[in-house]
Chains A and B, each alone.
Chain A
Amino acid sequence: MTRHIALCILLICVVTLILPHTLEACPACKNLNEPIARGFNWSVLFMMSMPFTVFGVIGGSVFYYYRRAHNKVKT
C-alpha cells in the first residue's frame, strides 16, 4: 500500500517535470495592451476602490454626526 502511494507521488512528480508549460494566471490578462484587457484593468481598479470609499463615507458621516453633537453639548 505504501509502495503504491509512493509510486503515485513519483509518477505525478515525473509528469509535472515532463510538462513544464507556462500557464496564464488569467485568460483576460494575456495581452495587456489589448483594449479589452485595459477595460478589465480599469474596471477592477475602480471596483477595488469602492469598498474603501463606501466605508470611508459611512465612517466619516458617523464621526461627523457624533463630533457635531459633542460640540453642541460643549457650547
Chain B
Amino acid sequence: MMAQTEFEMTENRPLSNAKLAVLILLGSETMLFSGLIGAFLVFRMGNVTWPPLSHADIELPRIVTGFNTLLLIISGFTMFHALRSIQQNRIILFRILLIGTGLLGLIFLSIQGYEWSQLIKNGLTLQSSVYGAIFYVLIGCHAVHVLGAVIWLVIVICMAFSGRFSSDRHIGVETCTIYWIYVVALWPILYFLVYFA
C-alpha cells in the first residue's frame, strides 16, 4: 500500500523519473545516430559518384520505402491518439489504437525485411562495398529500434488488456509514446538522407 502511494507521488511530479529516464535514453540514441549520420556524410561527400560505380546498377526502392514511411508516420499519429484516449479514460479506443500502432510497426518491419532480401539478391550486401555497409548499418540500426519499440508496445498492450492503465495512471503509455514518436520522427530524416542524397 505504502509502495503504491510512493509510486503515485512520483507519477504526479511535473517530470516523473520514468519520463526523465526516457529523455536521457533518447539523448544517447541521438548521439548514436548522429555518429552514424556523420559517417554517412563522410562517405557520401567523399565520393563524387553515389552509389559508387561498382553498384551503379542497384537502385534503392524509393517508392515502396516512401509508402512505408507514410505507414510509420500514421503509426505515430495512432500512438499519440492512444495516449490522448487513455488520458480521457476511453479504454476501448485506447486498446484499438495500441493494436493498430503495433500492426503498422510490424508491417513497416515486414516491408523493410522484404526490401532487404531483394537488395541482397541484387548483390548489395554488408561486405560488398562501403555503400552497402553504411546503408545496412544506418537503416538496420533504425530497424532494430523499431523492433525494440514494437516489443515495448506489445508489453504495453498486455498491460492495457489486464487493466493496468487509467486516466490517472498511464506513465507506461506516456514513455512508450515518447519513444515511439522519436523512432517515427527519426525515420524521414534517414529516408531522405540515404535514399535521396
Contacts and interface: CB of A to CB of B under 8 A. Distances in A.
Interface of A: 35-36, 38-40, 42-44, 46-47, 50-51, 53-55, 57-58, 61-62, 65-66, 68-70
Nearest to B15: A65
B38 interface: yes
Interface residues of B, number: 23
Q: Which DSSP category, helix, strand, loop or mixed, fits chain B's interface?
A: helix
A39 B42 contact: yes
Given A38-B45, A42-B45, A46-B41, A66 B23 contact: no
Given A53-B30, A65-B14, A68-B14, A43 B24 contact: no
Interface of B: 13-15, 19-20, 23-24, 27, 30-31, 34-35, 37-39, 41-48
Contact of B15 (A43, A53, A55, A62): A62
Nearest to A65: B15
